[in-house]
Amino acid sequence: MDRTVLIAAHTVASLMRLEDIIPLIEADQRVQLVFTQVPDELGDGVEQRLKNLEVRVIPWREATLRSFDLVVSASLHQMERVRARRRFAAPHGAGYNKLWPLLDWSGDSSARPVYGLDRESLLHNGVPVFDAIVLPHTDHLETLARQCPESLKHAVVAGDPCYDRLVTSLLDRDLYRSKLGVRDSQILVAVASTWGPQSLMATQRDLLTRLPSELPANHKVIATLHPAVWAEHGARQVRVWLREVRDAGVDLIDVGEDWRALVTSADVLIGDHSSVAVYAAGVGVPLLLSHFPATEVDPNSVMAELARLSPRLDPTRGLREQLMDALMARPLQWDAAARRVTAAHGMSAVIIRQTLYRLLELAEPPMIARWPSVPVPQLVRDE
């Protein structure tokens, strides 16, 4: 075997991002992929997902003792412990929107850096950890140059594979809607929550219960939760907690399922400061913000720009009227998100594969690199 590549999965969310990238190299018989689970407090579910993928898995301790030609990860911590000739950091989220969490920051709160493009994330003993850092947009080069100039030479503006797959999947919108149980005459309202104390789920869980009764009968509601919600609380616990929500008429994308088919199918999305909200706006889905925790978000990010352009949920007004407000804001939302979520529309597969093979010092295969449509997600069903 010519090259051995370690795929390092920290969480289900990061593993799902890696699953987008893996097909670019896994069919090459010169390349052997080996997977490992990196210790992470939100790592619940990774072991089972790796088992379902039927890939070769080695323990993290073994991964830190062996040598590899390349390590690929979508989270940044502990990668300096892997002995690899080259290290590749895949994008995780719709750009770099969030600031360092206040609870983890000991300095001046106003000086918190943009998370993921800072020295703490990208350097070890003052030396860059990664040989390639995929950035979705040229905007991120400015942030990286300001926060961690040592890593600037390793940046690759490659676009966003998650967004490009979402765009590709628009062609299958009718199929997704049918499989999700949406009738032709129905308006699909998607609800997306990130994780943590400032998320929609943590601050406005009652919204999900209210939606079916406050919206007209021709509206269908389907919700999706960040994988970290399931990891932090346990899938069984989340399903039990949200049983009353499902009893009220809201469907729920199940743990570990791909949310992109839901976004592709949606007529409008109610969301918080999650990447799902940015991606939805980027493919033309009207966005109604449940709320916006400005202290958690980089004021220069695409998420902050969307917040300035988007209506906020108002409990004193009718929901149908507010969905119309989102529809009116759609052109400006779409323009901002599509312009800033990626600087290489439709090119991420090509550029990322070029980068991977450059790091592996192998010639690329002759076939064109492209992304497939996303799978149909399973909904939570009563056992």
For the stretch 342-374, pLDDT in tens is 999 999 999 999 999 999 999 999 999 999 999
pLDDT of 383 > 70? The answer is no
What distance in Å separates the CA atoms of residue 194 and residue 224, rounded to the nearest whole number?
9
pLDDT of 135 > 70? The answer is yes
pLDDT of 81 > 70? The answer is yes
Q: For residue 229, what pLDDT band results from cuts at 50, 70 and 90?
A: very high
Q: For residue 105, what pLDDT band results from cuts at 50, 70 and 90?
A: confident
- Structure confidence at residue 1 (pLDDT): 63
Q: Look-up: residue for tokens 């992109």?
A: 260
Contact status, residue 260 vs residue 280, Cβ threshold 8 Å = no
- Structure confidence at residue 161 (pLDDT): 97
379 burial (CB, 10 Å; 0-12 / 13-18 / 19+) is middle
pLDDT of 56 > 70? The answer is yes
Residues in the chain: 383
pLDDT of 63 > 90? The answer is yes
Q: What value does the mean pLDDT take over residues 296-315?
A: 96
As separate numbers, helices (DSSP H) first and strands (DSSP E) second, the chain gives: 17, 13
Contact status, residue 256 vs residue 12, Cβ threshold 8 Å = yes
- Structure confidence at residue 92 (pLDDT): 87
What distance in Å separates the CA atoms of residue 309 and residue 306, rounded to the nearest whole number?
5
Q: For residue 100, what pLDDT band results from cuts at 50, 70 and 90?
A: confident
What distance in Å separates the CA atoms of residue 207 and residue 168, rounded to the nearest whole number?
31
pLDDT of 205 > 80? The answer is yes
- Structure confidence at residue 102 (pLDDT): 77
- Structure confidence at residue 148 (pLDDT): 97
% of the chain with per-residue pLDDT over 70: 99
* DSSP-based three-state secondary structure for 115: coil
Q: What value does the mean pLDDT take over residues 70-88?
A: 98
Q: What value does the mean pLDDT take over residues 177-181?
A: 98
What distance in Å separates the CA atoms of residue 81 and residue 68, rounded to the nearest whole number?
12
pLDDT of 26 > 80? The answer is yes
pLDDT of 129 > 80? The answer is yes
Q: What is the mean pLDDT of the chain?
A: 96
What distance in Å separates the CA atoms of residue 243 and residue 78, rounded to the nearest whole number?
37
Q: Which domains does the chain have, with CATH numbers?
A: 3-161+343-360 (3.40.50.11820), 164-340 (3.40.50.2000)
Sheet of strand 31-37, all strands in order from the earlier edge strand to the far edge: 31-37, 3-9, 67-73, 83-89, 132-135, 155-157
What distance in Å separates the CA atoms of residue 219 and residue 211, rounded to the nearest whole number?
9
133 burial (CB, 10 Å; 0-12 / 13-18 / 19+) is buried
For the stretch 242-269, pLDDT in tens is 999 999 999 999 999 999 999 999 999 9
- Structure confidence at residue 235 (pLDDT): 95
- Structure confidence at residue 70 (pLDDT): 99
What distance in Å separates the CA atoms of residue 278 and residue 276, rounded to the nearest whole number?
5
Q: For residue 336, what pLDDT band results from cuts at 50, 70 and 90?
A: very high
Q: What value does the mean pLDDT take over residues 199-215?
A: 93
DSSP state of 344: S
Q: Look-up: residue for tokens 């919600």?
A: 229
Other residues' Cβ atoms within 10 Å of the Cβ of residue 299: 12
